[in-house]
Structure 1
Amino acid sequence: MKDIQLLTTHEQLKVLSDPFRSQLLLRLMEKPMTGQQLSEVFNLSRARIHYHLKELEKNDLVHIVKKEEKNGIVQKFYQSVASGFVADRSLLPHPEEMSETVRQMMINMLERSQKRVLSAPEEALHDETGSQDPSEWKYLSGAFEFKATENDFKAWLKKYFSLMEQLSEIQKQNPSPDAKTYYFHSLGIQVDEPIFERKKPEDEN
């Protein structure tokens, strides 16, 4: 699976702007699955799942990564061709479709993350420290707003991805039997207006 795949056709944008297909693609970014497995996950008929899989496959968004025979039936395992997608410059004449595609992927990712939080073990959410310093907590949760130029944001983004890469490499180099799996979901996007208003108590002014 590639890290990033370029979207080069208008049809690819249209396919991914469909809420269900983007949801399907997110599942196939996680691991290979068959049409039968997906029909059970989404509680939909295999025929309907198959139709959407074929649309994704036809537009080079998913591919078959392995086949297994079970009870005389060949099962096809589909997976996303990449863990992320970005629109090519050639698609700039279609800004509405580009925006809708990104919006749907973000919304579906938020819904998927919500399910991961709901299924997290109790120990992951139980903080024994009682610390007011978030860096000492055993989970990451927060919402922030900052003023920044686009260049400021892009420069910080490079540092952020570098830090994530460092974290992903630690256990590869020095495996520990105590290592746990951590799930991250990050979202940073320009908004119309701020919603946070922070004021000091009057006795601190």
Structure 2
Amino acid sequence: MEQQVLETYTVESPEQAMALLNPLRAEILSRLTEPASAAELARAINDIPQRVNYHLKALEKVGLVRRVGTRQVRNLVEVLYQAIARTYILSETLNWPKEAVDRIKDQGSLSHLVTAAERIKRDALVLLEKSDQQEEIPSATVDTQIRLGSREQRSAFVQEYVELVRQLAEKYQADDAGEEPYQVVLAVYPKPAQGGEEE
């Protein structure tokens, strides 16, 4: 049932690019590296199944998710969906002006940042409740700053950053699918100064 998920997919159609700009759709995609139903996703992101199902169908229509099977749950048959990739890169050949492509990339990254921050907050509150019940919750946070002098430096830094994280994840990935999964979220963005301006 589970199908191969690409590590990276290059988005070349405007329809796919626009779908990725929607924060909820980006959130749904990030949770579909393994098959899941609309009901499962709705519980995971604290939303209603009908709304999630609507966005799933929109993502399926533009080819970013696919149906990978069904599952009987009580008297219902749930459709299982899976994303086609773990990460998405906007192609320079979208036939849009470079400024528009750059803006979409920035907006898409910022939308995903907002969605990721909301997910971390929700997950942290759940884990805090478990911690209050004397359950041990291993976690770690890394917070640092770096000054990057040019667009080229920023691009090179992000590429190397992604590759190092990929290598680290591969090195420590447990072979046993029964092991407890850990969520890893890493972000790079300009630090806002007082008053909302970027530093």
| Structure 2: distance between partners of 1:181 and 1:68 | 23
**Displacement after TM superposition at 1:51 (Å):** 1.9
User: Are the aligned partners of 1:124 and 1:139 in contact in 2 as well (CA < 8 Å)?
Assistant: no
TM-score, structure 2 as length reference? 0.70
| Structure 1: distance between partners of 2:175 and 2:7 | 24
Q: Which amino acid in the other structure matches residue 198 of structure 2? A: E
What does residue 56 of structure 2 align with? 53
Distance 1:141 1:32, change over 3 A: same
| Structure 2: distance between partners of 1:180 and 1:73 | 29
User: Are the aligned partners of 1:26 and 1:109 in contact in 2 as well (CA < 8 Å)?
Assistant: no
**Displacement after TM superposition at 1:15 (Å):** 2.0
What does residue 23 of structure 2 align with? 19
Structure 1 vs Structure 2 CA RMSD: 3.1
What does residue 112 of structure 2 align with? 105
What does residue 194 of structure 2 align with? none
Q: 1:10 aligns with which of 10, 14, 26?
A: 14
Q: Which amino acid in the other structure matches residue 117 of structure 1? A: A
Q: Which amino acid in the other structure matches residue 84 of structure 2? A: V
Q: Which runs of 5+ in 2 are unaligned?
A: 192-196
Q: Which amino acid in the other structure matches residue 81 of structure 2? A: Y
**Displacement after TM superposition at 1:189 (Å):** 2.7
Q: How many pairs align?
A: 177
Q: 2:92 aligns with which of 89, 104, 110?
A: 89
Q: 1:67 aligns with which of 70, 74, 78?
A: 70
TM-score, structure 1 as length reference? 0.69
Q: Which amino acid in the other structure matches residue 53 of structure 2? A: H
Q: Which amino acid in the other structure matches residue 8 of structure 2? A: I
Distance 1:89 1:142, change over 3 A: same
**Worse overlay, 14-23 or 49-58:** 14-23
Deviations 1:175-194 (A, max 9, x none): 8xxx8754322111346632
Distance 1:71 1:82, change over 3 A: same
| Structure 1: distance between partners of 2:155 and 2:105 | 20
Could you say what secondary structure the match of 1:63 adopts?
A: strand
Kindly name which structure, 1 or 2, has the bigger radius of gyration based on alpha carbons: 1
